[in-house]
Structure 1
Amino acid sequence: MDIQAYIESGILELYVAGALSEKENKEVYNLMLQYPEILQEVLDIESAVIKLTASVSPVKNNDKILQAIKAHLGLNGTDSKVISMPRYNWVTYTGWAASVILAIGLFWTVTQNKQLQSDIQISKTQQELLETQIANANSSLEEANTLISVLRDNNITKIPLAGQGNFASTYANVYWDKSNDRIYLDAQGLPEPPEGKVYQVWSLTLSPLTPTSLGTIDDFITDDNKIFEIENANASEAFGITLEPAGGSETPTMEFLYTLGVVNAS
């Protein structure tokens, strides 16, 4: 039997750690009784484990533990077959301990880095959300200030749009800035359009009745103020709003005429 190869195989460390089967334990035990070198190796391993344990434990009874191990093996301190000088490498066990500590440290570092990255991402998202809210607030404020200036301008023509037919409860208002060829549509009195539908704004001349599309209100649902600025260079005599399929229609769908208002000739 190659005793040195057996010692270096690592089976004795597993024996001390209690990781072998009952059959394997018996085999190691019999070899310990047969070969003093194997016995000494086991004692050295156990002694190293005890020292490692003692380095982190307040209990200082290592000698008693070692004696208990020897007694369990049926040995005494005067057995001449036991090699007196331990030859097992203590650095091996301190290396194991250092590896465990290093692994724990690396795991903690990685965890902290991930948490830090998560916190940074959350902070970045919150900052972007805040910037969006500020931008929306500024935009709403600008719209409000613009509307106020429109309402106070004597050159602005207000055209109320009343509900029509089955939509008598709806309403809207058009503020026509003729000098700048634009209108401001206050559509607060219109309900949200159903899915796949949009409101379309029309400029009308009455004799003969000729509708001209001013476009669709595609962002009606997402616009909180429901005030829309629309270009209008037409000689409008009336304004109407219909509900149309998404994308709009070439001519107004009269059965879905929600509001209509005539421009005051005065």
Structure 2
Amino acid sequence: MNTQTYIDSGILELYVAGALTAKENEDVYDMMLKHPEVTQEVLAIETAILKLTKEVAPKNRVISFETILSKLKNNNGDAQIIALNKPKNNWFTYTGWAATILLAAGLLWTVNEKNNLESKINTVQTEKAFFENRVNTINTDLAETKTLLNALRAKDVIAVPLAGQAVYPEAYAKAYWDKESNTVYLDLQGLPEPPEGKVYQAWSLTLNPLTPTSLGTIDNFKSNENKIFKLTNTNESQAFGITLEPAGGSASPTLEQLYTLGALQS
């Protein structure tokens, strides 16, 4: 049953009139908590009944001194004592309705507090999910860092320092070549960020004759925080170099943009 059908059923009028069973009263109360429009309808019914009660309540009759005097003068018989009825007031009626209105106001406050609490719970759950995701990311990064350090510290890994060249003498880098796994790790922390439209490209070199072989471009230089990059190297390398090339890389190195170069020790 939808909310409007529930309102139109007439059960709210019976609730206000106190004609429902305890179980039915609980059901109506639950509906008021869940649906603010039901609470508003109960308030509207109570307001209408209160207004009607005021309109049909007997008006207090006021007996003036002149009225009493006229009665005395026109009375030809024995003097009579006129009993003045004490005006009745409707305090009990009004107090009952006031209590009902206060109850409804309390229900509205409860609904509002419930909504505020649900909003806070949702906020806490969102923050909890964010921090859990952050912790998972940190744990993943730590695991990757540990794996990387173990690879760089392996017994058979060959470390090759790459010195800065004429185009950028302050540059420096280091290559860690694991011949067994055909992997080379490049630590490019000492290179400046490439300009827009440019990428760094790694090269494996044989010296006699000088033959460069591309190991690939470093496309994620900006986003990689530790600036260590893993590349495949199946070559019989004698040296490694890093050049700055147009995005997408080049077939052969641009020697004028050679940033670092280093040879394996004999």
TM-score, normalized by the shorter chain, greater than 0.5: yes
Residue 119 of structure 2 aligns with which residue? 114
Structure 2: distance between partners of 1:219 and 1:122: 30
Structure 2: distance between partners of 1:129 and 1:190: 29
Q: Closer, same or farther in 2 for the Cα pair 1:196/1:13, shift >3 Å?
A: farther
List gaps (5 residues or longer) in structure 2.
1-46, 63-82
Q: Closer, same or farther in 2 for the Cα pair 1:101/1:161, shift >3 Å?
A: same
Residue 254 of structure 1 aligns with which residue? 255
Alignment of 1:216-231 (within 5 A): 216-231=217-232
User: Shift of residue 162 of structure 1?
Assistant: 1.6
Secondary structure of 2:190's partner? Answer: coil
TM-score by length of 2: 0.62
TM-score by length of 1: 0.62
Structure 2: distance between partners of 1:96 and 1:200: 78
Structure 1: distance between partners of 2:170 and 2:151: 27
User: Shift of residue 127 of structure 1?
Assistant: 1.8
1:31-86 CA distance string (max 9 Å, x none): xxxxxx76736x7xxxxxxxxxxxxxxxxxxxxxxxxxx9xxxxxxx877977788
Q: Closer, same or farther in 2 for the Cα pair 1:165/1:39, shift >3 Å?
A: same
Alignment of 1:84-163 (within 5 A): 92-149=97-154, 153=155, 155-163=156-164
Secondary structure of 1:187's partner? Answer: strand
Structure 2: distance between partners of 1:257 and 1:175: 19
**Kept after mapping to 1: 8 A contact 2:199/2:244:** yes
**Kept after mapping to 2: 8 A contact 1:40/1:82:** no
Residue 40 of structure 1 aligns with which residue? 58
Q: Closer, same or farther in 2 for the Cα pair 1:181/1:100, shift >3 Å?
A: same
Residue 193 of structure 1 aligns with which residue? 194
Secondary structure of 1:234's partner? Answer: coil
1:75-104 CA distance string (max 9 Å, x none): xxx877977788967654433222211111
Structure 1: distance between partners of 2:144 and 2:158: 24
User: Shift of residue 194 of structure 1?
Assistant: 2.9
Letter aligned with residue 140 of structure 1: T
**Kept after mapping to 2: 8 A contact 1:175/1:183:** yes
**Kept after mapping to 1: 8 A contact 2:245/2:254:** yes
Structure 1: distance between partners of 2:174 and 2:90: 104
**Kept after mapping to 2: 8 A contact 1:185/1:228:** yes
Aligned length: 199
Letter aligned with residue 166 of structure 1: V
1:150-209 CA distance string (max 9 Å, x none): xxx2x4433322211121111212222223222222222212223443211011234444
Q: Closer, same or farther in 2 for the Cα pair 1:98/1:210, shift >3 Å?
A: same
**Kept after mapping to 2: 8 A contact 1:39/1:82:** no
**Kept after mapping to 1: 8 A contact 2:152/2:176:** no
Alignment of 1:75-86 (within 5 A): none
**Kept after mapping to 1: 8 A contact 2:202/2:215:** yes
Q: CA RMSD in A?
A: 3.5
Letter aligned with residue 217 of structure 1: I
Paired-residue identity, %: 41
List gaps (5 residues or longer) in structure 1.
1-8, 17-36, 44-69, 71-77
